[in-house]
Homo-oligomer: A and B are copies of this chain.
Amino acid sequence: MSHRIIVDVMGADNGSGVVIRGAVAGARRSGASLLLVGNRTVIQNELEDLKTKGLDIQIEHADTVIQMNDPPGTVMKEKNDCSMAVAVRLLKEGRGDALVSCGNTGALFTCSSLVLRRIRGVRRAVLAAVVPLDNAFVICDAGANTEATPEMLVQFATMGSIYAKDLLGYANPRVALLNNGSEENKGTEVQQKAFDMLRQSRLNFIGNCEGRDLPADFCDVVVCDGFIGNIALKTIEGMGKLVGRVLERIFKKNPITMIGYLFTRRSTNAVRKQLDHTEYGGAPFLGINGVVIKAHGSAKEKSVTAAVRQAVNCCEMRLVEKISEEIAALRTDGEGNDQQKG
């Protein structure tokens, strides 16, 4: 059965055109239908220039946009008619099976949590970003919650493991806690308690992970609060960009080094592509009652395409149902078993 993916085409750094073109390509590759949300005229103009024959594309008009620097709360108040809020409500009403947005992360998180609600038993939803280095791994939380309790971290690990297993195909994902040292007594009280709880869990917990372990195929799921996850993820992105500049410097130094480039072009470009974060797909919010994918604000066409395909995969893998089952099991085990906060 074809899935319908709702795409918020507004609020991306590179404009609506990139998002629309990426979404159409994603629909074509995955066989999905689309429901594009944003300024109708802009969308129609863009679609006229594209091959859309055979595709099922609907449009829902929304005129206002939530900006990157708007406080997240405005999406539910002053700007609750913005394309993002409209898109989330359409998902709630069942007009689509999943949602992709390149907009303001905090606003998307707030709006999704409040409109779609969290899965029963989930304290806080989490942004699960995949970092495709030598070993692709999931950062949970990549930026949704600036602080996290040990109980939240255990839930992040649980949800991240399901994602790593079903979407990345790891049979028994290795879970590690991002910490300031490898020894078990490292970090603040939060990390120390989380370490104990993770060790006692049914997860494949392999211990603490340091920043330098991240690019070294150390684990498949990295658990941390969203502040730390944001710093780690963006530092990796920034260093990836530096590698691009470094390669330029190596090869463009003089005519001799440029000859070197001719001999290594293919492998050089493969590496550059692997480390370019704008090539990444999107990151789902796990723990929400619905599939919501946050694509990068500065996403290129290709990454929107990847995000649409990811949305389809999440639907096919029944991600929401699986998380619901695992969180229920966690509660039966007594882990993270206290009342859910509003």
Contacts and interface: CB of A to CB of B under 8 A. Distances in A.
Interface stretch (A258-266, A283-291, A305-313, A322-330): A258-266
14 contacts: A71-B185, A146-B188, A147-B188, A210-B230, A211-B230, A211-B237, A212-B235, A243-B243, A246-B275, A249-B267, A250-B271, A256-B263, A259-B260, A261-B264
Contact of A180 (B178, B227, B262): B227
A186 to B, nearest CB: 9
Interface string A202-245: 00000000111111100000000011101111111111111101
B147 A242 contact: no
Contacts of A146: 180, 187-188
Contact of A263 (B242, B245, B263): B263
A338 interface: no
A133 B235 CA distance: 13
A163 B270 CA distance: 40
List the 10 closest pairs (A to B, CB-CB), nearest first: A211-B234, A260-B263, A212-B238, A239-B239, A211-B235, A260-B264, A180-B230, A215-B242, A212-B234, A260-B260
Contact of A250 (B188, B249, B267): B267
Interface residues of A, number: 57
Interface of A: 68-69, 71, 133-134, 143, 146-147, 178, 180-181, 183, 185, 187-188, 210-216, 226-228, 230-243, 245-246, 249-251, 253, 256-257, 259-264, 267-268, 271, 275
Contacts of A232: 211, 231-232, 235
Oligomeric state, in copies: 2
Contacts of A69: 183
Nearest to A269: B250
A180 B143 contact: yes
A264 to B, nearest CB: 4
Interface centre among A188, A237, A245, A250 (most CB of B within 10 A): A250
B187 A227 contact: yes
A257 B234 CA distance: 31
A241 B213 CA distance: 10
A180 to B, nearest CB: 4
A80 B260 CA distance: 56
Contacts of A260: 259-264
